[in-house]
A and B are shown apart, each in its own frame.
Chain A
Amino acid sequence: MKVTASLPTGVAALLFDGARRRRRLEEEMVARLESNGFAEVILPVVDYLDPYVAMLSAHSRSELYRFVDRSGEVLALRADFTPMLARLLAPRLASLELPLRLFYRGDVLRYQEERAGRQRELYQLGAEVLGLPGEEAEEVAIDTCLGLLAAGERRRLVVVLGFAGALDRLILDCSDDFDPHELVDAVGRRERRHARRAGAALLDVVERGVPDDPSALGAAAAARLERLEALRGRLASRHPSVDLRIDLAEFADQVTDPALAERLGARAYYDGLVFRAFAGAAAEPVGNGGRYDRLFHSLGAELTAAGFSVSLDRLIARDELESVDEGGVGDGRDGPAAPEDAR
């Protein structure tokens, strides 16, 4: 067999400078996490499939790499750290001292359609805050995430904030006239023509991220939005280089209302705060996270849980492009070089 250097689709080897850059970034982030009181956990790359079947959405299940080992056990490669950590901690919570601040790092493997920027092997670093009261866990999680991403202050970051279930009331109010599945999809894709037919508040959300009149969201969601505004203000003062925005349309599919979730065939993974961090122009976020109490609830444990993960490979790719721009080699925008430059 002829030996070549080709690798399977969606995976990459980091050689020399690439490896050094990733390790340097990783060590900086780990040092920051440890100084903030986070302890490392090391999790296996292979686990039984069975415990995850009920926890994962149909989409997440479709991304799993699974196989039968020689003893007949159905196993899956690690596609996410959080469910694995949750299933290992949930039975032990009674013996653990809360709150817990944990972090992890390593590869996750997910089947992705072959597309530019979509890797099947991703190197993630993430952290979880477990057992802090109320929305404090959310604030610690996002604050820690922004601290990692904004370190160095050279990276141009846009962080979009929302919360699960924010648009449930608006969607439900229209569900007699519109297929909720189509409406959620249309709001998520910013399709104005659908939103306009569904009403002024939903059109506001599609165009500007929040309704002019927050009471249209319902009393509970309006109050939650007010608290999110306050959180945004606190984060902005602590991370002045980060562009923080509230945009409920970005998380339109994070539905929590049981009746609506049943009609859509999927309930949100998140329960409270949800956020995505973008660096530069690429559509794939470099970090994301939120609150996910329900995952523990599904495992028979009751506690608040919030966390995040960052993709080191995407961050390094964005940093390289920005450094090229600053050196005057690129075209001065916050994205990859234009095709002519690439040639």
Chain B
Amino acid sequence: MIRLALPKGRNLEPALEAFRAADRPLTELEQGDRRLRFVSPEAGVEILLLKDWDVPLYVEYGVADVGVVGSDVLEEVGGDLLVPARFTAGRSRLSLIGRGGLPRAGQQVRLASKFPNIARAVVAEKPWGAEVLKLWGSVELGPLLDLAEVALDIVQTGRTLRENHLEELETVREVAPLLIVNRAAYQTHRDELNRLVDRFEQVGAVE
């Protein structure tokens, strides 16, 4: 039986939606079950419920065979993982946000983000420079309270930005929930994983 690592955060719903559409509903989670580990007989998988940031580690280390994680988190933490599918639901974007427009060429600013590695890669291609400040949450407060001139954060609907009088200055990445698999697990469970991805594709849950 495949062991599946699911994130507790914003990417849980797209994963549930995909399994539901594929007629393999994760009934326990749909009904609000929040045990950290259980078998879902209807879906034929064992579930681990994890923090989003921990999913790649569990999969790479082989504790879980398969996982669902945002492309933002995977890019930030890295890992030698296979990515056979991207979910169509739960799309968002990683954007530079602030109050007074993008920094000018040659300007040195502070940039707040939960994604310091991506932030440094983004800044490396800009005509301006930045000291990257790693924050653990409420990144929008950075530019709002002048901790930083700009922030790099996930934008879904833009509502939080509007309510806090912030602007989306530039989209730097399109973000999607990903199905990730570890190399050894792929070889061991290849047929089963291919059937699962085939089914997701048939119902349009992944691309």
Contact = CB atoms under 8 A, between A and B. Distances in A.
B194 interface: yes
A283 B61 contact: yes
Contacts of A158: 184, 187-188
Interface string A315-343: 00000000000000000011110111000
A283 B84 contact: no
Dominant secondary structure at the B interface: mixed
A218 interface: no
Contacts, number: 88
Interface residues of A, number: 33
A338 B4 CA distance: 12
A253 to B, nearest CB: 12
A180 interface: no
Interface in A170-222: 189-193, 206-209
B26 to A, nearest CB: 18
A203 to B, nearest CB: 11
A206 B183 CA distance: 13
Nearest to B180: A189
B84 A278 contact: no
Contacts of B82: 189-190
A334 B81 contact: no
B182 A281 contact: yes
A138 interface: no
Interface in A103-118: 113, 115-117
A117 B86 CA distance: 26
B62 interface: yes
A282 B62 contact: yes
B30 interface: no
A319 to B, nearest CB: 14
Contacts of B81: 189, 283
Contacts of A192: 84-85, 197, 201
Given A191-B83, A283-B80, A340 B37 contact: yes
A155 interface: no
A313 interface: no
Interface in B158-194: 181-188, 190, 194
Nearest to A280: B62
B18 interface: no
B36 interface: yes
Contacts of A338: 3, 37, 48, 63
5 contacts: A115-B60, A192-B197, A193-B207, A207-B194, A278-B183
Given A208-B194, A333-B3, 16 more contacts: A158-B184, A158-B187, A189-B82, A190-B83, A190-B181, A190-B186, A192-B84, A192-B197, A247-B187, A278-B188, A281-B65, A283-B61, A283-B81, A335-B3, A335-B63, A340-B37
Interface of A: 113, 115-117, 158, 160, 189-193, 206-209, 243, 245, 247, 250, 276, 278, 280-283, 285, 333-336, 338-340
Smallest CB-CB A-B distances: 6 pairs: A281-B62, A278-B184, A282-B62, A283-B182, A190-B82, A335-B62
